Amino acid sequence: MIKNLLSAGDLDRTDAIRILDTAEELLGVASRPIKKLPTLRGRTVVNLFFEDSTRTRISFEAAAKRLSADVINFSAKGSSVSKGESLKDTALTLQAMGADAVIIRHHSSGAPHRLAQARWTKGAVINAGDGTHEHPTQALLDAFTMRRHLVGSTGSDLAGKKITIVGDVLHSRVARSNALLLHTLGAHVTLVAPPTLLPVGVDHWPVETSYDLDASLEDADAVMMLRVQAERMNASYFPSAREYSRRYGLDTARLNRLPDHAIVMHPGPMNRGMEITADVADHVRSVIVEQVTNGVAVRMAVLYLLLGGAAGETEASEEGLS
């Protein structure tokens, strides 16, 4: 198993399936009366968030706590970082405090790589979203959700499944991580966006691309809608929010053109009425809320395998995982 989780591309098929299968086992913990395992007792996990993200932070926090780790939340706002402290000094401080894992969210692409490769911390580094680069645990929870609905069995991948990802791919770390992981798991990915929101060099990615959402719905097993940031709406990436919504938004008419088994996904938070209409967001085929639940299980699995794995699997299972 890898030491850090910096990119969805760090995971080979075996590692990815191992995480998904472990998450499958851990999902049950949430429904127990006492939602806690002793696996990471005595370990310290730091949530190092340089960028606001309540959803991701509490998901990681819940995951760590359910494994009995001690959790330190570090938010850049109001901290020494706002007084000009560098990432390096922050990391050295955390190292001095004995962090076993650092979960980092940062506005700068590559910040988790710097943290891991410059050896400012000895703990495992988990990328919780860096700039416009990647968000690997989001891709894992998405893959987990897809596998539950489209395949159903543990030990399997997503071979042959057709996944359509729609929206602002250019600025989306979710899209990058999904493109890599879904390819590793054997799925066919189509990225749909206006040409202004597809990155230069996307033709080198292991995906298909399309400018036409309607043409990409008929045989999709899952459709993932990406959030459109408000600041893009007046930056000439597209003429207007209305036009974007007409051409790339998911409404009931488009939903009805999907195959019956297809699911609708969104990493959240949603702009209802922009990339997705409210009725589609709340539709029975929408698994958006379930993605959140699955996120905790997947992050538990990642923490367990990166930290608990180091202590030896037998010990972990003795502590009651299986």
Partner 1 sequence: MSSYVIRGARLLGNDPVDIAFADGVITGIGTGLDGDEVIDGTGLVTLPGLVDLHTHVREPGREDAETVLTGSQAAARGGFTCVHAMANTSPVADTAGVVEQVWRLGREGGYCDVQPVGAVTVGLQGTQLAELGAMADSAAGVKVFSDDGKCVSDAVLMRRALEYVKAFDGVIAQHAQEPRLTEGAQMNEGPLSGELGLVGWPAVAEEAIIARDVLLAEHVGSRLHVCHLSTRGSVEIIRWAKSRGIDVTAEVTPHHLLLSDDLVRSYDPIYKVNPPLRSNDDVEAVRDGLADGTIDIVATDHAPHPMEDKECEWSAAAFGMLGLETALSVVQQTMVDTGRLTWEQVAQKMSATPAEIGRVANQGRPLAVGEPANIVLVDPAATRTIDARDTASLSRNNPYAGLTLPGEVVATFLRGRPTVRDRVLVTPLSTEGASA
Q: How far is the CB of 113 from partner 1 (least distance, A)?
A: 4
211 binds partner 1 (CB under 8 A): no
The reply on whether position 34 binds partner 1 by CB under 8 A is no
Residue 243 CB contacts under 8 Å (≥ 6 apart), including other chains: none
**Strand bridging mode 188-192 / 101-106:** unpaired
Question: Tokens standing for 215?
Answer: 């043409």
Place of tokens 């929206």: 167
Determine if 210 is a binding residue for partner 1 (CB under 8 A).
no
Q: Is 43 annotated as a binding residue?
A: no
| 83 Cβ contact partners less than 8 Å away, ≥ 6 residues apart | none
Q: Is 18 part of any known ligand binding site?
A: no
Contact predicate 32/23, CB 8 Å? no
272 is in an annotated binding site: no
**Three-state SS string across 63-85, please?**
HHHHCCCEEEEEECCCCHHHHCC
**Binds partner 1 by CB under 8 A, chosen from 80, 86, 229, 252:** 86
Q: How many chain residues interact with partner 1 (CB under 8 A)?
A: 27
Bridge partners, 163 (sequence order): 189, 222
Nearer to partner 1, 33 or 201 (CB): 201
106 binds partner 1 (CB under 8 A): yes
Neighbour count for residue 15 (Cβ, 10 Å): 15
Q: Which stretch binds partner 1 (CB under 8 A): 29-37, 56-64, 112-120, 215-223?
A: 112-120
140 in Cβ contact with 300 (< 8 Å): no
* Number of alpha helices (DSSP H) and beta strands (DSSP E) in the chain: 12, 9
Residue 92: which residues within 8 A CB-CB, separation 6 or more? 120, 121
Q: 92 or 253, CB closer to partner 1? A: 92
Is 105 flagged in the annotation as binding?
Answer: yes
Minimum distance from residue 126 beta carbon to partner 1 (Å): 16
Contact between 88 and partner 1 per CB under 8 A: yes
Q: Applying CB under 8 A, does 68 fall inside the site for partner 1?
A: no
Residues linked to residue 105 through DSSP beta bridges, in sequence order: 49
Binding mask 157-196 for partner 1 (x = CB under 8 A): ----------------x--x--------------------
77 is in an annotated binding site: no
Is 176 or 254 the residue whose CB approaches partner 1 more closely? 176
Q: Are 164 and 190 in contact (CB under 8 A)?
A: yes
For partner 1, the binding residue among 100, 134, 168, 275 (CB under 8 A) is 134
What number of residues does the chain have? 322
114 part of the interface to partner 1, by CB under 8 A: yes
Indicate the annotated binding residues for carbamoyl phosphate: 55-56, 105, 135, 138, 268-269
Residues in contact with partner 1 by CB under 8 A are 86-88, 106-111, 113-114, 117-118, 130-134, 173, 176, 199-205
